[in-house]
Amino acid sequence: MKVILLFPPFEREINDNLQITTVKKYANSVPVPLSLTSVAASLEAVGHDVSILDANALQYTKEQIISHLKSKKPDIVGLTTSTLSYHQEREWIGLVKKELGIPIMVGGKHAWYYPKELLKNDSIDYVFSGEADKTIVDFMDAYEKGNTKKLKNIKGLLFKENGKIIDNGFSDQINNLDELPFPAIHMLPLEKYHTFLTKRRKFITMITTRGCTSRCTFCDAHLEKYRFRSAENVVEEMQRAYDLGVREIELYDSAFTINKKRAIEIAEGIKKRKLDLRWDIRTRVNLVNEEVLKALRSAGCVRVNYGLESGDPNILKNMKKDITLEQIERAILLSKKLGFEVFGYFILGCPGETEDSMNRTIALSKKYPFDYVQFTRMVALPRTELYQQFINEKKYDYWLEYTQGKHLDKQIDLVGTKLTDEQVVNAVKRGYKEFYFRPKQIIKTLSQSRSLEETFRYIKAGTHFLFKK
């Protein structure tokens, strides 16, 4: 079968936050469509004619996208969905259907949670709910043979038959991740990708685990059982990327050091193979120690991204973050001592949040030697404990209605706090200003820039940020 997986340009206008818009506008970050590379790899492994059209990276216009699709004549087109970006994906799906009139399949986190609602969209023919690495292979086989009986037995697939929804439920989780083919990054325009922190090209992102062992109330990662690929398998994927010219990698695992032994083995593998890679990880402050951090640093890991969320112990407790201010201090200082860049992520507008607690968070960001920080307004995402609290309080399913096309002009309300949206958004802005516009931080940021053009971009982003209403 001829399959095209489309990653359309995304603007992120609704439910966005100031930081992301500013970064996208001036640093022009181009992300890797990681989900689609997994689906493409599974299809390629069994011989389908599959390609990825990353129209975001290629900066294709609507006309170019449609003309590309028409000229390639695919049998089916696939797109990924995400709750916060579904309002845009919906438009792309509608456009592709109108222009090509061929079957459209969707997967991704939004499809996990609102599959039936998605199928009610006339332009969507097949929905994949849950991990699709195996489901997609079974589907394509049955679809190619026109075997409807088999289609009705594929777990994780939903589709319509004579207007009636056939719901085969959620897919089974894949236990042995090493069995899966490596993501099909060879189908991507690798020279295009970067974030505002990358220093080398080619650059990719990787994910080596699924699920999470923590229980944060605002996150859905722990709904999946925690599974990880073996160190050997991860290093082999890095080697493969290296052979394709990749020199920088961001590891997007929920918490890379949950299994410290594996993390150390990966670092040793990178050194053993002499892979000259610059890379970073995301993790939690209670999951690092000197041994693991030293091993990572010695293998080219340059930055640790910590999800800290709040500088107020009560807020941390409310969100079941399960970390203390002491652990935060210890991890930040240790990471800096070992030569890492440290990126701290904070959320404002959490349950129980007050002006005082937000001030404590902003103060914490300035207390320690962070290189970068991010402040985000809390958003209650589907299936999280926080969202359940939202439904209990507000008595309606916001995201379900959003999927039907409502609420497109406003963010989901905050939950569990008396603060207004305006107060939280102002605190987000204040956090950025107070952190980045300190003289020592300005000097640090500018001295880390690689070129005059980049320095100019930072200045422009700063000015935009300061004067944006």
Looking at 311-461, which runs of residues are DSSP E strands? 341-348, 372-377
Q: Which is nearer to ligand B12, 19 or 417 (CB)?
A: 19
Of 372, 367, 363, nearest in space to 345 by CA = 372
Shortest spacing between CB 163 and ligand B12, in angstroms: 22
Lay out the site mask for ligand SF4 across 235-254 (x = CB under 6 A, - = otherwise). -------------------x
Interface with ligand B12 (CB under 6 A), residue from 30, 132, 347, 415: 132
Reported residue count of the chain is 469
Interacting residues of 178 by C-beta distance below 8 A, sequence separation 6+: 229, 230, 233
Interface residues for ligand B12 in 358-387 (CB under 6 A)?
381-382
257 versus 417: smaller Cβ distance to ligand SF4: 257
Segment lying near ligand B12 (by CB under 6 A), choices 46-54, 78-86, 330-338, 386-394: 78-86
Name the minimum Å distance from CB 152 to ligand SF4: 35
* 195-224 binders of ligand B12 (CB under 6 A): 205, 207, 219-221
The span from the CA of 403 to the CA of 398, in Å, is 9
- The set of long-range contacts for 367-370, using a CB threshold of 8 Å and a minimum separation of 24, is 368/328, 368/329, 368/332, 368/333, 368/342, 368/344, 369/332, 369/333, 369/336, 369/342, 370/332, 370/342, 370/343, 370/344, 370/435
List residues bridging with 447 in a β-sheet: none
Q: Minimum distance between the CB of residue 254 and ligand SF4, rounded to whole angstroms? A: 3
Phi, psi of 446 (to 5 degrees): -70, -35
Burial pattern 20-47, b for ≥16 Cβ within 10 A else e, equals: ebbbbebbeebbbbbbbbbbbbbbbeee
Least distance to ligand B12, CB of residue 136, Å:
5
CA–CA gap between residue 469 and residue 465 (Å, rounded): 9
| Alpha-carbon span 326 to 286, nearest angstrom | 10
Q: What is the nearest approach in angstroms of ligand SF4 to the Cβ of residue 287?
A: 9
Shortest Å, Cβ 312 to ligand B12: 22
DSSP assignment string, 123-156 = T--EEE-S--TTHHHHHHHHHHHT-HHHHTT-TT
Q: 254-293: which residues touch ligand SF4 (CB under 6 A)?
A: 254-255, 284
The residues in 100-129 that bind ligand B12, with binding defined as CB under 6 A, are: 105-110, 128
The reply on whether position 154 binds ligand B12 by CB under 6 A is no
Structure tokens at 290: 């000197």
Beta bridge partners of 342: 304
Least separation in angstroms between CB 220 and ligand B12: 5
- Write the binding mask 193 to 232 for ligand SF4: x where contact by CB under 6 A, - elsewhere: -------------------x-x-x--x-xx----------
- Closest approach of Cβ 352 to ligand SF4, in Å? 17
Q: How many residues bind ligand B12 (CB under 6 A)?
A: 37
Q: Which is nearer to ligand B12, 85 or 318 (CB)?
A: 85
What is d(CA 59, CA 74) in angstroms, rounded to the nearest whole number?
A: 21
User: Is residue 345 at the binding interface for ligand B12, with CB under 6 A as the rule?
Assistant: no
Interface residue with ligand SF4, options 8, 307, 382, 462 (CB under 6 A) = 307
CA 43 distance to own-chain centroid: 22
Name the helix (H) or strand (E) containing 107.
strand 104-107
Q: List the single partner that 222 binds among ligand SF4, ligand B12, none, CB under 5 to 8 Å by kind.
A: ligand SF4
Structure tokens at 293: 């951090």
What is the footprint of ligand B12 within residues 243-302 (CB under 6 A)?
A: 252, 254
For residues 221 and 266, which CB has a smaller minimum distance to ligand B12 in the complex?
221
Q: Which residue is nearest to ligand B12 (CB)?
A: 107
CB of 350 to ligand SF4, least distance (A): 12
Q: Does 347 bind ligand SF4 (CB under 6 A)?
A: no
Q: Specify the residue, 4 or 295, whose C-beta has the smaller distance to ligand B12.
A: 4
- Residue from 117, 133, 138, 280 touching ligand B12 (CB under 6 A): that is 133
For residue 113, give the H/E element and its range: helix 109-113
Q: How far is the CB of 321 from ligand SF4 (least distance, A)?
A: 7
From candidates 18, 23, 82, 441, binder to ligand B12 by CB under 6 A: 82
Distance CA 204, CA 241 (A): 8
Asked whether position 342 contacts ligand B12 by CB under 6 A, the answer is no
CA neighbor of 345 nearest in space, from 435, 416, 408: 435
Question: Could you say which residues in the range 29-48 bind ligand B12, by CB under 6 A?
Answer: 31, 33-36, 38-39
Cα–Cα separations (whole angstroms), residue 113 to 157, 219, 402: 13, 14, 13
Question: Which DSSP letter does residue 194 get?
Answer: B
Residues making contact with ligand B12 (CB under 6 A): 5, 10, 12, 31, 33-36, 38-39, 78-80, 82-85, 105-110, 128, 131-133, 136, 205, 207, 219-221, 252, 254, 381-382
Residues making contact with ligand SF4 (CB under 6 A): 212, 214, 216, 219, 221-222, 254-255, 284, 307
